[in-house]
Structure 1
Amino acid sequence: MLKRIDYLLKRLISSSFLTVLYCFVFVFGLFYSSKCIAQTPRSKPNIIIILADDMGFADIGCFGSEIQTPNIDRLAKEGLKMTQFYNAGRCCPSRTALLTGLYPHQAGVGDMIKYKGSVAYQGYLNDNCATIAELLKDKAGYNTIVSGKWHVGLQPSALAFNRGFDKSFTMLNNGSSYFNSRPLYNDGSKITFMINNQEVTRSDTSKYLTQAITDFAIRSLEEIKDKKAPFFLYVAYNAPHWPIQALPQDIARYKGKYLEGWDKLRKQRYEKLLASGIIKKSWKLSDRDSRVPDWDSLSPEEKDKWDTRMAIYAAMIDRMDAGIGEIMNKLKQLGKDKNTIILFASDNGGSADEVKSLQTVIQKNEIPGSVNSIDSYEIPWANVSNTPFRLFKRNTHEGGISTPFIAWFPSVIKAGSTNTQPAHFIDIMPTCLELAGISYPQKFKGRKLTPLEGLSLAKIFNDKPWNGHDAIFWEHEGSRAIREGNWKLVAEIDKPWELYDLNADRSETNDLAAKYPEKIKKLEVEYLQWAKKVGVADWNKIKSL
């Protein structure tokens, strides 16, 4: 541009008056138009949030897994990996934090969806929070869609169609068969699916649930009436939450691949995580969980059973990834891929649930992975899912609360970038609001809103310095933690505090509690102040309600 202007100015000096005038107008036009282009704001982006259920930190390819996830891996390759991102440790609290930008207790879902004796544990979204969909729709004109697991309350006021979503296909429970909506539990409770405000039943001839969630999302994108308005799409897959059920052709691709056992697989995933720079060399691979036997001690029949379980689990993630690929292809077909941000995460770590031992669960023991089998992959494989960390879903040690987080935004997020700063699900709401160019209100539709706890991640997406949180907090059923900088104070229910330096030891293998008692006191005071503010209660006193 500058060379061209310089050339034209030289011509001006040697030209006639008329030529001078023409050239002046031309040069001014070039300058003005270039300035206008530079100042033209990018239109509000489409926003897609994709959430996996009960998937561990190391269960996708770009985070160390052998499971084939080419579409998620593409998002990471072309976008950003945040390697110290946190959820709230379990499905209901995590979904609440994601949707509202608040700690779950502040929004009424400190535990699950049953009332536990206080407003912080009422079991459904309260009136002092708003969802991302409500604010994007009302304040920025977004089309809003949700497809998948809802699980933030059964009261009408907490359902998706009353919480800002134009179109919704939702499962209200914690889980379901992947082939129908028959009960999973012996207490007579049913599995409830809804399309908008109408209850629907999934029969044995229903399509596989992961595919149904994908199909509704795609169909809803096609049916958007206001094509010029941006959209917000929340895709909440139930996979790979138990019961582990998958399509036979998907299972077949993984059967036999896990016969080397969990010890070798944990080591392989650990080495991949190291090679990719996602974890540090100082973070040791935590010991195999004490409840898990040595693989070599198992009989051939036992090894085959465990191989089958993990093959089914892997197949579930594989099929979810295929669905994500279908959504990405639809974006391209609709011409929406250039101005859409996609965020991917998991709601908690791998699950140690052993449904075969639960008397409350209906037992079905026919062909593994089929509609007539109810099973889980249990502690041994969950220990692999959460490599290199300790413990599981429900716990506030790193194995329970760490999520692989990926952000993809063409021409905005630098391809192949990585961020290691601690962040949390509460940060997703303010991020979406900033992307849409709107502010979080003090009141919404006559309701006074609790101030946001999260911080926008937009600066990280734009590769700019981000100050981050002074501290992040957790509490779930008596398991509790605070992370302040690199220090983490954590304890399971009725257990003493443990203290870790996460910069040197994020796998929590070296408890420093005895060495730094003053640090424990300081962090405990901060935790208790937070717990009082958000309404944390003594779990031993409320768990029986």
Structure 2
Amino acid sequence: MNRWKLCLTIAAGILLGVHSKEFLNADERPNIVIILVDDMGFSDVGCYGSEISTPNLDRLAENGLRFTQFYNTGRCCPTRAALLTGLYSHQAGIGHMNQDKGDKRPGYRGHLLKRCVTIGEVLRPAGYLTAVTGKWHVGASDHSWWPLQRGFDRFYGVPQGGGFYFAPTKGRDLVAGNDIQFSFGDKMPEGFYTTDAFAEQGNEFVKEAVKQEKPFFWYLAFNAPHWPLQADQKDIEKYKGKYLEGWEATRKARHQKQIELGLIDEAWDLTPQDPEGVKWSQLDQSSQEKQDLGMACYAAVMERMDHAVGKVVASLEEQGVLDNTLILFLSDNGGCAEGGDLVKNSGTPEAAWGSADSFIRYGKAWSNVSNTPFRKHKHWNHEGGIASPLIAHWPKGIPQHREGTFCRQPAHVIDLMATCADLGQAKYPKNFYGNEIVPLAGKSLKPLLSGREQRIHEVIFWEHEGNRAVRKGDWKLVANGPKGKWELYDMQNDRTEMHNLAGEKPAKVKELISDWEEWAKESYVLPWIWKPGYMKARAEHVSQ
């Protein structure tokens, strides 16, 4: 009988021809869970230097890989577009945010265009159950832009973006599939909290896939820890008083921990606190207590998110699929400096801080802590805006000797689509429903996940709101705003971007400007804020 079954298997393989390998190995393809958080800095997770309690993420890192040079785009919508499509965000149609800047600006239409495909549209034909929970934010005003119309079998989340934890705010709807469940003013179920709901509903989608014996792809897009910072009072109380030493001391402690972990090079200078910002010692006691409370709210939102990650991992383990599930955890941009230097609460004055009626932003000073040891924040293309943690956990795929170690090769959020297609044995199409598809910009992370230290990118590019950068090998060219001068940094010896070498190496500057301009022209970065003839002027506008 066994011999007869073997003969049938061999015969089936012959009949399937070139598809036989994919058919026989289909059950070995990994499940994939991508967890994206919102407005979290490079140092905000315990295993990247933080004092915030994140035991579940730390455990994933201990049994997986931590990337030290992983990049996002510096802003929420562009990062989500790049993640979902494997293209630079302008190529996908979201070079800025959700506003449509017209057909003369094809890189800035504000939603995913038909010239791109999503991970869902690539993996679903390969047999995956595909699901999204959480913040979509890559096109909402037309239902044809929603997840179920872009390759996903299941959706539970907010098409318009984040902006709330306990109940929807104006302009935000909680949607299941294509149907609105809750809108602004609706009474929410007792105990509802977005972070928990996005994780719990996704767990149900996973159970559905396991029951159907299908591999699954789940994109879990938390809105945490984006403002308004809202959390349970008991979680906030745990952190009250922990930040009374101030942002300078907290930042130095994180920096020292990063060195001890082996995450960063001790030789890199720690960037200074914003020289124009307020020093902690300049605040009176009452003001210090408010700043401490604001950061306590941020830490509480972070810890609640980590707890939800723990629930996801526990559910995967209960379903018996954890070992062959690739979990990738990252942030959409660096810490957010929006709102001014200090913590601000623009909600109901008498409401408890962190409650549903409060509206807290933690400000530039604490964002500077989140982005330790780097310069700048969300929006910018200096490392503080674009450097992200990336934790990869995959017991079956990451070699045991690499568990708990670092991958130090540069990689980018555009690489996640290529990785999913590679591991899922799925075809990235040249045409999709009659539309010509832009070729992949990203590279598969499979070699890095397999334990090899090899460079997968020759060059990586950025642009957002005129902030722009290019990284080629260990050289990075970066500028602030469309009129800013180019700065040149040696990432091997000065990743904190403290020593501008543009004046010393004009030939390298011109080479990288040429690379960036060529990419900008080909990738729909132009025109928008870029004026006619402006790029030529930029080539001459170099620090001497």
Corresponding residue for residue 372 of structure 2? 387
State yes or no: 1:126 paired with 2:81: no
Of 382-391 and 436-445, deviating more is: 436-445
AA of the residue aligned to 1:513: A
> 2:139 aligned to 135, 153, 157, which one?
153
- 1:390-409 aligned at under 5 Å gives the runs 390-409=375-394
Classify the secondary structure of the residue corresponding to 1:337.
coil
Count of residue pairs brought into register by the alignment: 497
Percent identical residues: 45
CA change 1:398–1:305 in 2 (3 A) is same
- CA shift, 1:193, in A, is 2.4
Q: Does 1:193 align with 2:184?
A: no
Question: Which has more radius of gyration?
Answer: 1
The within-5 A match list for 1:268-417 is: 268-354=253-339, 363-365=347-349, 366-413=351-398, 414-417=402-405
1:456 is aligned to 444
Q: Provide the secondary structure at the position in 1 that maps to 2:35.
A: strand
- Cα distance, 1:179 vs. partner? 1.1
Per the alignment, in what secondary structure is the counterpart of residue 480 of structure 1?
A: strand
Question: What is the CA RMSD across the aligned residues, in angstroms?
Answer: 2.1
Letter in 2 for 1:518: A
1:386 Cα shift? 0.1
Counterpart AA for 1:521: K
Instruction: Indicate the residue corresponding to 2:512 in structure 1.
Output: 523
Query: 1:181-230 CA distances to partner (integer Å, 9 max, x unpaired)?
Result: 122xxxxxx11221111122154544011111112111222333753110
Unaligned ranges ≥5, structure 2: 1-23, 532-544
SS in structure 2 at match of 1:338: coil
Match of 1:501 among 490, 511, 532: 490
Partner residue in 2 for 1:72: 57
Structure 1 unaligned spans of 5+: 1-39, 184-189
Cα 1:467–1:145 shift into 2, 3 Å: same
2:149 to 150, 162, 165: 162
Given that 2:477 and 2:512 are in contact with CA atoms closer than 8 Å, whether structure 1 keeps it comes out as yes
Q: Is the 8 A contact 2:343 2:360 kept in 1?
A: no
How far off its partner does 1:358 sit? 13
Give the secondary-structure state (helix, strand or coil) at the position aligned to 1:219: helix
How far off its partner does 1:537 sit? 2.6
Deviates more, 1:499-508 or 1:165-174: 165-174
1:478–1:539: 8 Å Cα contact kept in structure 2? no
C-alpha separation in 1, matches of 2:527 and 2:180: 36
| 8 Å Cα contact 1:179-1:204 kept in structure 2 | no
1:250 Cα offset (Å): 0.9
Paired residue for 1:99? 84
The 5-angstrom pairing of residues 211-290 of structure 1 reads 211-224=196-209, 227-290=212-275
Q: Is the 8 A contact 1:101 1:429 kept in 2?
A: yes
Given that 2:278 and 2:341 are in contact with CA atoms closer than 8 Å, whether structure 1 keeps it comes out as no
Q: 1:286 to 1:338 in 2, by over 3 A?
A: same
Give a deviation string over 1:342-369, Cα, whole Å, max 9, x none. Answer: 000000000001189999x974332211
Q: What is the CA-CA distance between 1:59 and the residue it aligns to?
A: 0.1
Runs of 4+ deviating beyond 4 Å: 355-359
The letter of the residue matching 1:98 is: L
Residue 114 of structure 1 is matched in structure 2 by: 99
State the distance in 2 between where 1:500 and 1:357 align.
30
Q: Alignment partner of 1:123: what SS?
A: coil
Match for residue 513 of structure 1 among 502, 513, 519: 502
SS of equivalent residue, structure 2 residue 361: coil
Q: By how many angstroms is 1:165 displaced?
A: 1.2
> TM-score under structure 1 normalisation?
0.88
- 1:45 maps onto 2:45 in alignment: no
Indicate conservation of the 8 Å contact 2:165/2:230, yes or no. Answer: yes
Distance 1:229 1:329, change over 3 A: same
Q: In the aligned structure 1, how far is the partner of 2:465 from the partner of 2:180?
A: 31
Contact 1:208/1:247 (<8 A) preserved: no
**Matched residues in 1 for 2:361 and 2:187: separation?**
20
What SS does the aligned partner of 1:180 have?
A: coil
Could you tell me how far apart the structure 2 residues matched to 1:144 and 1:312 are? 33
Could you tell me whether the CA contact under 8 Å between 1:355 and 1:375 is conserved in 2? no
Paired residues of 1:72 and 1:321 also in contact (CA < 8 A): yes
Question: Could you list the per-position Cα deviations for residues 79-138 of structure 1 after superposition, in whole angstroms to 9, with x for gaps in the alignment?
Answer: 001100000110000001001000000000000001123111000000011111111101
Q: How far off its partner does 1:67 sit?
A: 0.4
Q: Deviations over 1:279-300 (max 9, x none)?
A: 1112111010123221112100
Instruction: Give the secondary structure class of the aligned counterpart of 2:107.
Output: helix
Counterpart among 523, 526, 530 of residue 534 in structure 1: 523
TM-score, length of structure 2 as denominator length = 0.88
SS at match of 2:385: helix
Amino acid in the other structure paired with 1:196 = G
CA distance in 2, matches of 1:86, 1:539: 24
Matched-pair contact (CA < 8 Å) for 2:414–2:443: yes
Residues in 1 aligned to 2:352 and 2:232: alpha-carbon distance in whole angstroms? 12
